[in-house]
């Protein structure tokens, strides 16, 4: 599934772009303010080290935030698959050569679980799991 696909009516791309713009406009001034506070609190001969530590902290926080979202999305996906596959790649591989002809149902469940994991990574992994056909 791609951003702006037919299933979302082409509304996903503008929604994603709006979200990114709001995020950038909201956090940009905070990063500038934080860097200014850090640089203003150290002697001028230590400004380079202070700026690098401030930038390192900003990037580390962003990376950890994305990692946490990835972990939450994986938890939602796995809970929705009820143990039938650990990843979308596993579901596609199993769906191509199912032992009892239920590949289409597995792929459908995997697509729905992946979509749910990507659209609501902050939701509880145990909330309203659909019944898996396996």
Cβ neighbors of 28 (< 8 A, separation 6 or more) are none
Q: Mind listing the pLDDT tens digit for each residue in 101-123? A: 677 777 777 788 777 777 765 54
Q: Is the pLDDT assigned to residue 3 strictly greater than 50? A: no
Mean of per-residue pLDDT scores for the chain: 76
Residue 55's nearest CA partner among 65, 63, 45 is 63
Q: Is the pLDDT assigned to residue 67 strictly greater than 80? A: yes
Share of the chain above pLDDT 90, in %: 19
State the pLDDT at residue 133: 42
State the pLDDT at residue 129: 46
State the pLDDT at residue 13: 81
Query: Do residues 13 and 3 make contact, with C-beta atoms less than 8 angstroms apart?
Result: yes
State the pLDDT at residue 40: 92
Count how many residues are written for the chain: 134
pTM strictly above 0.75: no
User: How does residue 48 score in pLDDT terms, banded at 50, 70 and 90?
Assistant: very high
Q: Is the pLDDT assigned to residue 99 strictly greater than 80? A: no
- Give the whole-angstrom CA distance, residue 89 versus residue 125: 20
User: How does residue 128 score in pLDDT terms, banded at 50, 70 and 90?
Assistant: very low
């Amino acid at each position: 599934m791609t951003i702006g696909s037919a299933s979302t009516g082409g509304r996903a791309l503008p929604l994603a772009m709006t979200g990114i713009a709001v995020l950038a406009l909201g956090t940009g001034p905070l990063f500038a303010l934080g860097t200014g506070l850090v640089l203003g609190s150290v002697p001028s001969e230590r400004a380079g080290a202070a700026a690098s530590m401030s930038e390192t902290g900003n990037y580390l926080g962003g990376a950890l935030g994305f990692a946490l979202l990835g972990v939450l999305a994986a938890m939602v996906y796995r809970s929705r698959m009820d143990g039938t596959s650990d990843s979308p790649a596993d579901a596609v591989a199993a769906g191509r050569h199912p032992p009892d002809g239920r590949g289409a149902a597995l792929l459908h469940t995997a697509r729905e679980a992946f979509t749910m994991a990507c659209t609501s990574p902050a939701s509880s992994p145990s909330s309203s799991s659909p019944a898996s056909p396996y």
